[in-house]
Chains A and B, each alone.
Chain A
Amino acid sequence: MNDSSWSIFVVLLVMLSFILVGLRQKSRESQEYGFGGRYTGRIGGGAAIASNWMSAASLMGLAGIIYLRGYLGLSYVIGWTGGYVLLLVLLASQIRRFGKFTTPEFVGERYGSPAARLMAAVIAIAISVIYCVAQFKGIGLIFAFMFDIGYEQGVTYGALAVVSYLVISGALGVPRNQQLQYMVICVAFIVPLMWLARKLGYFWLLPQFGYGRALTDLASEFRIDFTLPFAGDSLFEWCALCFTLMVGTGGLPHVLSRFYTVPNVRDARWSVVWGLFFIALIYWSAPAFAVFGRLLEARHGIPFTPDAARAAADVIALKTALMAGLPGWLVGVLAAGALSAAFFTVAGLLMTGAASISHDLFYSFINPRASETARMQVAKGGTLVLAALVLLLALNPPGLIAEITAVAFALAGNTIFPLFLLGIWWDRANRYGAIAGMVTGVLCTVASPLLGGVLPGVASYFPVTASALCGAPLVICVMIAVSLATPAPPEEMRRFLEQEVHGHLD
């Protein structure tokens, strides 16, 4: 078997094993499933958080952006881990005590406004769509790599594969086993990296530390300084990007709803710690792929031109494995890891988005008397419509995987994070403030592409991937100002916040 048929074989094997294990578990313990995953203690909860989080952006995009931009790429590492600190200390236990599962439900209940709920639902769906475009790009690139076809064909086949997976697992009622999924993703990412480090003669037991010498070699042999801080980009750019990804993490709808899978607040808090540890395991490793990739390219005499590097960035992990001459099955394992991460993220997001269309838009607004069957049909149709929309956008992706993902984070950080933060920590925030805040947040996110040409200042303060450093504080100010200028929210909600959300031990 050659390299690509090996990877097709491994990928199919992994997908099949997920379905089989899911079916076995379903027959054995159909009662124990919560919201999208099984609960097995704090460590298991952490693995579920991590596998829910792992996507093509983590496994392909991160190495790609570090390969391309060096030190700026580290702001993705920090943003995507540091956001969990914000989430844990400011929101995790409080939104659990509040007791609403999804973002639109929380907004609708807290601000007591159907209009705010509708806006939140539309924003949450938009975030899912942008996030999925990045995942589809990853899936398309891997399909193109495996079958040796063009990117457009790859992404089309990939979309077909995702939708058929959703149909099959939906028809069989297969639950997602997120602990197993994390194990597969983690092994599939780290074992090839260890092999790579060993092949290149570096410390392979912990390649996360071993790549330091590769960095030194890169500097001494080829005079490439990978680590130079703020060389091609400014301090503002670095911090804005990092902050945007952090608040975005605290506002991503599918991350916020994770706190309901564990039975109590204390376990929810501790599983965030485990989740962060499992995420960090991958994020300590990703830069190594980037460094090994640059080193191998330099040794093979491949010139590092901006255009070629940009084209290669998102598949640098696979390319590095190929360049180093790793065995075909191991390249397949790496591809399978990245593909399953992207696959399950897309499956989860499409289903949540479709549920939101059916529940928050169709049932609550268009037809409150719709039957259960009608709502199911709308949800199924919604999945297809969303998948088609994402495919259309992904055919001509506007940037690197990590960059597209960052836009979703910017939108989440500009809109949903302030809504949750003030909604929980300030009882005076009301529906007018919430609506004004959401409008401002959306404007901040799209300010750069819309107004950047006319007002150059806007483009530099609200860069498209990093608009939340100026955006989120602005939205919070707008929310406070509008809330103070309009009547206070109902007394029951303020009492509920004080007594249930914050006063549980009074």
Chain B
Amino acid sequence: MSRPEKPYKVNLFRPKAGHMRDEVHIILAILFGWGVCTFGFQFLVYACRGTGAGSLLTRLTLFNLPLHFWFTGQFLPLWFIVLCVIFNIYVDRISEYHSRKRDRSYE
């Protein structure tokens, strides 16, 4: 006879052990990579205005584009794709792992 389970509350910051906790860890990691590269970089460009580091960021060129313009206009969309690929690979893997552990097939 199974014991009545303790009621669990769904909360992004307190995931329950198992698949959900693994999933939430990767979600937070991806969001970190997303936020730091998007907004962190803009803060950096802004904070370094008028300094040597600032002119390095805006004068150095890559593919004939100033570094900051290249980073924002071309690298960031690519970075978002990379983040999504990492997320999917990882979630595929944890889903396989947990479904095997529970002896259930995952779709």
Known A212-B65, A425-B11: A89·B30 in contact at CB below 8 Å: yes
Nearest neighbor of B29 in chain A, beta-carbon distance: A89
Write out, one digit per residue, whether chain A residues 485-506 have a CB within 8 A of any chain B CB (1) or not (0): 0000000001001100111111
Chain A contacts for B34, CB-based, 8 A: 82, 85-86
Asked if A265 is at the interface of the complex by the 8 Å CB criterion, the answer is yes
**B11-A74 in contact (CB<8A):** no
Is residue A117 within 8 Å, beta carbon to beta carbon, of the partner chain? Answer: no
CB-contacts of A323-381 with B (<8 A): none
B36 in contact (CB, < 8 A): no
Partner among B26, B58, B69, B104 whose Cβ is within 8 Å of the Cβ of A505: B104
- How many Å lie between the Cα of A243 and that of B46 in the bound state? 17
Q: Smallest Cβ distance from A233 to chain B, in angstroms?
A: 11
Instruction: Count A/B pairs, Cβ under 8 Å.
Output: 149
Complex: A498 Cα to B42 Cα, angstroms: 38
A58 interfacial by beta-carbon distance below 8 Å: no
Contact partner of B73 among A74, A86, A216, A503, CB < 8 A? A74
Chain B residues with CB under 8 A of A90: 27
Asked if A427 is an interface residue, CB under 8 A from chain B, the answer is yes
Q: In B24-70, which residues have CB < 8 Å from any A CB?
A: 26-27, 30-31, 34, 38-39, 42-43, 45-46, 49, 58, 61, 63-66, 68-70
Interface size in chain B (residues, C-beta < 8 A): 54
Known: A85-B84, A505-B19, A506-B19. A212 touches B64 (CB 8 A): yes
- Chain B residues within 8 Å of A209, by CB: 63-64
Q: Is A266 an interface residue (CB 8 A)?
A: yes
What B residues does A505 contact at CB under 8 A?
Answer: 18-19, 95, 98-99, 102, 104, 106
Given A78-B38, A85-B80, A229-B46, decide whether A215 and B73 contact each other with a Cβ distance below 8 A: no
Residues of A within 8 A of B106 (CB): 266, 505
Known contacts A209-B63, A227-B69; A427/B10 CB under 8 A? yes
**A160 interfacial contact with B, CB 8 Å:** no
Tell me, in angstroms, the Cα distance from A88 to B34 when the chains sit together: 12
| CB-defined contacts of A84 to chain B, threshold 8 Å | 80, 84
Complex CA distance for A77 and B81, rounded to whole angstroms: 14
Cβ-closest chain A residue relative to B12: A425
For chain A, the count of residues having a C-beta within 8 Å of the partner chain is 54
Query: CB-CB contacts of B73-107 with A at 8 A, as 1s and 0s?
Result: 11011101101110110011001001100101011
Most B CB within 10 A of own CB, among A84, A216, A497, A502:
A502
A442 within 8 A of B: no
Q: Which residues of B contact A74 (CB under 8 A)?
A: 69, 72-73
| Distance, CA A197 to CA B76, complexed state (A) | 23
Would you call B9 an interface residue if the criterion is a C-beta within 8 Å of the partner chain's C-beta atoms? yes
What are 19 A-B pairs at a CB distance below 8 A?
A85-B80, A88-B84, A89-B26, A89-B27, A89-B87, A212-B64, A215-B65, A216-B61, A230-B45, A242-B38, A242-B42, A266-B95, A269-B87, A276-B77, A494-B10, A498-B10, A502-B10, A503-B20, A506-B19
Binding site for B on A (CB under 8 A): 71, 74, 77-78, 81-82, 84-86, 88-90, 93, 208-209, 212-213, 215-216, 227-230, 235, 238-239, 242-243, 264-266, 269-270, 272-273, 276-277, 280, 283-284, 287, 425-428, 494, 497-498, 501-506
Can you name 9 extra interface pairs (CB under 8 A) apart from A84-B84, A426-B12? Answer: A77-B73, A78-B72, A81-B80, A216-B64, A227-B66, A227-B69, A266-B107, A269-B87, A504-B19
